[in-house]
Structure formats: C-alpha cells, structure tokens
Amino acid sequence: MAINKNTAFKLVSVSLNLPVFSSQSKSLKSSIVKYGLRGKINNDKGYAYVEALKDISFNFISGDRVGIIGSNGAGKTTLLKMLAGVYHPTIGEVKKSGRVVSMLDIHLGMDEEFSGIENIFLRGYYLGYSTNEIKIKVKEIISFSELDDYINLPIRTYSSGMRLRLAFSISTSFDAEILLMDENILAGDASFISKAKHRLESYLHKSDILFLASHSDDVIRSYCNKAIWMQSGKIMYIGDINEAINLYHKVTE
C-alpha cells in the first residue's frame, strides 16, 4: 500500500483566522453561512475575522488512513484546505514529507478555453508533475475518460459529465503519497460513478496517507483506520474510529 515509508504529516498548534471583509451585519451573517464557518467572530485586530481552526496538532505517518468527521461547519473542509496549502496558518507550524494530491476540487487548474489534451497538462502541472511524467499518463487518461476525439476540443464545449470524466481521470492517474479527499468527489454524475468506483477505491488504497472527510460512518469505517472528530474548528478527539463516531453521535443526538 505505502509508496514512501518516510511519508508524514504534522501540525503543531495550528490556528487559522479568516478575515470577513463585509461591514454589514446581514452580509457578515451571510458570509459565515456561505463559507460554513461557525467559529467565534472577533474584531480585536481592527477587522472582523473568524477563528476557523483552533490549536490543531497531530502527527500522522505512512499507513495512516484518517477519517475526519463532524457536523456541517465543524471545520473539516477548512482543515483539508490547510493541508492542501490553500490556507496558511495564522499561527503554528505545518510539516510534511511526501507529495500531496488534493481531490477537493478536481477541476482546479483547468482552463475553459483550452482543449482536453491541454488541460491534462495544465492539471498535471498544478498537481506538481513534470512534462515527462504527464506524457506517460496521457493515453491512459484519454482512454478512461472515453472522450475520444473530444479530447482535442475546448472543454467549454463539454457537458458537465464530460468535464467530470476528464478531471477525475486526470486526478486519479497520478500516485499520491498524501491524498486529501471528501465524499462529494463524484456527486452529480450517476452514469460515471459505477465505472469510477473501482478506480477510486484502488486509488485510495495506493496512497500512503489518506485524509478523508465524510458524513458517512460506513465510509469512514471502510477506508480509514484512525479518526478525527471536529467541532467549531477544534479537534475534540483523535484516535480510534469507533470511539470518535460514538462521541460525535452522543453530542448530536
């Protein structure tokens, strides 16, 4: 399963404050709802901000498959974005050893005006791969996506399903030492899910460290061997999956 036995991901006392730029209380409330942030709103720095993550610390190593659970707005996606490098900590330290592949937005890095083949390279570059590494994967990506001659057309001409097939095929063609994912990756294209399911499961198991956010107890139990329970941007529990799920449900019942 493991690609690199030295793969590790460590957070040391990490907190994240996200500024809220609206001055209208109604707009401020809308912003909090929109971004799913339920942290405490402060203005002691001269501007309004949300404490999105609060004093997060953990250390995961090769072989760890980490399920992240919690209610909407608990901070699951924000934490994954922190791990992906989308957000940088306000305080604390992020240490990682291994290539990180984010499946949070599999369309990220793609351009509407570019052809499918050009977007294979754009997305590959975004994921941190070289031209030669991408070239090796091109035929496999085209074959799995079933785009055939459409691969040479601008992706603005694609249906939403075609775009998903291309983005999914690209993202799952490259090995990930550290894989970041949420459960919504295939939402919205039922015709493609059955074909993609086996490939996705194989991809999950090939990663060295997995972080998977999900509302499904069954999904967490199926793919993970450790769990993080989050609430209001804080880690409430980290460790055994069943214990994390039980503690979470006691609070939500």
Residue of 233 and 161 predicted with greater confidence:
233
Does the predicted TM-score (pTM) go above 0.75? yes
Please check the confidence at residue 6 and state whether its pLDDT lies above 80: yes
Residue of 161 and 65 predicted with greater confidence:
65
d(CA 73, CA 81): 14
Confidence band (pLDDT; 50, 70, 90) for 164? confident
Confidence band (pLDDT; 50, 70, 90) for 47? low
Q: What is the model's pLDDT at position 46? A: 57
Confidence band (pLDDT; 50, 70, 90) for 23? very low
Q: What are phi and psi of 7, to 5 degrees?
A: -65, 135
**For residue 31, what is the enclosing H or E element?**
helix 25-35
Residues whose CB falls within 8 Å of the CB of residue 151, separated by 6 or more in sequence, listed in order: 115, 116, 117, 142, 145, 166
**Residue 185, token pair as written in the block:** 């990756």
pLDDT tens per residue, range 173-189: 988 899 999 877 755 55
For the chain, list the domains and their CATH numbers. 8-99+212-252 (3.40.50.300)
Q: What is the model's pLDDT at position 201? A: 80
d(CA 103, CA 200): 11
Q: Comparing C-alpha atoms, which of 183, 151, 181, 182 is closest to residue 166? A: 151
For the segment 32-58, the average pLDDT, to the nearest whole number, is 68
Please check the confidence at residue 214 and state whether its pLDDT lies above 50: yes
**For residue 35, what is the enclosing H or E element?**
helix 25-35
CA distances 130 to 62, 123, 127, 135, 173, Å, are 24, 11, 9, 9, 14
For the segment 143-160, the average pLDDT, to the nearest whole number, is 94
